[in-house]
Structure 1
C-alpha cells in the first residue's frame, strides 16, 4: 500500500518525469485502477506498474512497462481480471479487435490472410481462465504460390515483396533496357494457377546477328544469296534444311557458301512451355 501511494506522489511532485526526452511532447499521468506504479531513477520516460491480487497487466508479464513517445504512452496502463486474455498472436491471421485491449472468457473467430488456410478447418480461438486454448494455425494454401520466379532480362514492377501469393494473383514485369517482348503478345505478366506460376512472354535483345526480315538467313561478306541446291560454278549443294560449305571457289581455300533453309525438321521441344 505504501509503495502504491509513494508512486502516485512521485507522479504529482515530479511532472517532469513524464517527459520522454528534451524537445519531445510529454505524456499526462495515466489513471490506474487495481494496480500501482513504480518509478526507477534514470528512466523518466518510462512507467513501470504492477497489479493487485486477482488482476494482471494488460500486456504479458507480472510487471509491465509503458513508454512515453511524442505525447502518447506505448500502451495505456491497465490492470485486468486475471481470468481475461490479452490479444493472441496468430501469424497470417486477422480477428476482431476489442476496444478495451483485452478479451473476457469466451471465443473469437479468426480469418486467415489471402494465400493461407486454417489448419484442420479450425478457425476458433477460446479464452479460458486467462489463457487462449486451441489457437488456430494459418498455413500456406495448396493453391497458393511462393515468390515469383526470376524472369531473364526483366524486372517485376508495382509489387511489394511477399512470400505467399493467393491463387489467381497476377505479377507484372517489364523488360530491361535494350530488351523487348518477342512475338505479338504484349501482356507482360505471370499468373498463379493451382500453386504454380505461368510462363510469360520472354524478353529478347531484338534481331539476331546474320538474320533479316522474316527470319531468312542472309549472306555475309556483302555477297548475294544463291539458289537452293546450287553454289558458285554450278556445284550441287546438299539439301534438306542445312547450309553447305565448299572447299573454296576458283581454286581458293576457305570460301564459305550459304543457302536458304527450306526444311526445319520437327518442332523443337521447349522446357516448361507450349
Structure 2
C-alpha cells in the first residue's frame, strides 16, 4: 500500500518538476569579438551573469571599462559587444527620445536628433547631438515648457476621471472632474472640464450638495436645513459687458477674471513681425516671421473681463544681417551667421569688403567690437575697432 501511494506522489511531483525546468532556458557561451569574459563555461543557467572587458583600442558597448551580461531565458542581456573607442554608446537624456541604433551604439561622426516628451521643450532650440571621438558633443537638454501645467487644482467632493500619474501636463491637455454622489457641479457654466492654457489651468467646477426638495406645503427648494439660503441671484457673477471683480464669492473663492471664449475679447491683437498661427475656442497661438525669435508665451487667452493676456514679442535674431539695417553691405536678402562664423561681405563700394563675425550672439567687426563697419582696405589681419 505504501509503495502504491509513493508511486502516486512521484507521478504528481515529477510533471511539475519537468514543467519548471522547461519554463526557462540556459544560454550557450557568448560570442565576443575583441574581448574576453569570465567565468568561461559551455552553458550558463538562467539568471547567471558573466563579466567582460575589451582589448586595447576597444570598449564595452555600455558605460564603464568592464561590463556585465545576464542570461535571460536563453538570451544574453545586454548582448556583450566590444566597439571601437571612437564610437559612442547611447546618451542618457532625461525627458527625451531619439531613434535608437539597431547595433546598440553609434559610429564616430554620427548625429542624432532629439525630440522632447510632452510638456518639455528644447533648451536654446538645440535638437542634435554629435558623436565625436567616443563622446557626445553639445547634448540637447529638454526643460519644462513655459506653457506646461503642474498638478491640476483640487476640487472638494470631486475626483478627476482617468487621472494620469504625472507631474507635468502639456498645453491643451484636458482633464474632467466627476462630483461625488449627492453633489452637483456649479459655476464655470457647469463645465466639469479644465484645460491647460499658457501654463495655467482654466477654472474648474464647484461640487455643491444637491438640494433636497421640501415636502411641506408651500415649501421652497431654495432653502436648506434651518432655512439657510444656498443660492442667491447674481452672487459671485460678473456684470454684463465685462469689468473684473476681485471680491470673493459665497464660497470664499477668489473671483478674479477667468479664461473664456476668445470671441468675447473682440478682434485678435496684432504684434510686430508676428501673426496668429492657430486659433482655438479658448486661446490663440502666435508665430514670428523668419529671422525673428518669439519672446514670452506663444499662447494668448481671453479673460472674462474682456481683456487679452500678455502678448509675446517677436525679436529680431542677433546674428542676422538685415538689408534694411546694414545698408552699406551688398545683401540680396537676410543672411544668418552661426556662432563664431565669419564671412567677407562686399560693401556698396566696388573692391571693398568687410569681415563680419558672430560673437556671443552679436554681429561684430572684431572680437571686441559690438557693431560692423565697412572699412576701406580691410585685410585678413587685425582690423580696426570702429563702430558701425
The structure 2 residue matched to 1:77, chosen from 62, 77, 80, is 80
The structure 2 residue matched to 1:122, chosen from 116, 122, 126, is 126
Give 3-state SS (helix, strand or coil) of 1:68's partner.
strand
Return the offset for 1:199: 1.1
Aligned residue number for residue 157 of structure 2: 153
Aligned residue number for residue 62 of structure 1: 65
Aligned residue number for residue 255 of structure 1: none
- Change over 3 Å in CA distance of 1:264–1:78 after alignment to 2: closer
Give 3-state SS (helix, strand or coil) of 2:27's partner.
coil
Deviates more, 1:86-95 or 1:158-167: 158-167
CA offsets, 1:88-113, max 9 Å, x none? 00001111111000001222110111
Aligned residue number for residue 50 of structure 1: 53
- Change over 3 Å in CA distance of 1:208–1:38 after alignment to 2: same
Runs of 4+ in 1 over 3 A off after TM superposition: 183-187, 208-211, 216-220, 261-270
- Change over 3 Å in CA distance of 1:179–1:84 after alignment to 2: same
Give 3-state SS (helix, strand or coil) of 1:48's partner.
strand
Aligned residue number for residue 29 of structure 1: 29
Higher relative contact order (CA 8 A, sep 6+): 1
- Change over 3 Å in CA distance of 1:51–1:200 after alignment to 2: same
TM alignment of 1:94-109, pairs within 5 A: 94-106=97-109, 107-109=111-113
Q: Distance in 2 between matches of 1:113 and 1:263?
A: 44
- Decide whether the 8 Å contact of 1:180 with 1:203 is kept in 2: yes
Q: Does 1:212 align with 2:220?
A: yes
- Decide whether the 8 Å contact of 2:155 with 2:205 is kept in 1: no
- Decide whether the 8 Å contact of 2:112 with 2:129 is kept in 1: yes
Normalized against structure 2, the TM-score is what?
A: 0.49
Deviates more, 1:49-58 or 1:178-187: 178-187
Aligned residue number for residue 203 of structure 1: 207
- Change over 3 Å in CA distance of 1:70–1:177 after alignment to 2: farther
Aligned residue number for residue 39 of structure 1: 39
Give 3-state SS (helix, strand or coil) of 1:120's partner.
helix
CA offsets, 1:169-190, max 9 Å, x none? 0111211222221369454111
Normalized against structure 1, the TM-score is what?
A: 0.68
TM alignment of 1:166-181, pairs within 5 A: 166-181=170-185
What number of residue pairs does the alignment pair up?
A: 213
Q: Distance in 2 between matches of 1:33 and 1:168?
A: 51
CA RMSD of aligned residues (A): 3.3
CA offsets, 1:150-195, max 9 Å, x none? 1111111213211111111011121122222136945411110100
Q: Distance in 2 between matches of 1:131 and 1:265?
A: 61
Q: Distance in 2 between matches of 1:99 and 1:114?
A: 25
- Decide whether the 8 Å contact of 1:212 with 1:218 is kept in 2: no
Q: Distance in 2 between matches of 1:112 and 1:196?
A: 20
Q: Distance in 1 between matches of 2:225 and 2:159?
A: 34
Give 3-state SS (helix, strand or coil) of 2:115's partner.
strand
Deviates more, 1:67-76 or 1:101-110: 67-76
- Decide whether the 8 Å contact of 2:248 with 2:255 is kept in 1: no
- Decide whether the 8 Å contact of 2:29 with 2:40 is kept in 1: no
Unaligned 5+ segments in structure 2 are 1-20, 239-246, 258-388
Return the offset for 1:56: 0.4
Q: Distance in 2 between matches of 1:123 and 1:266?
A: 47
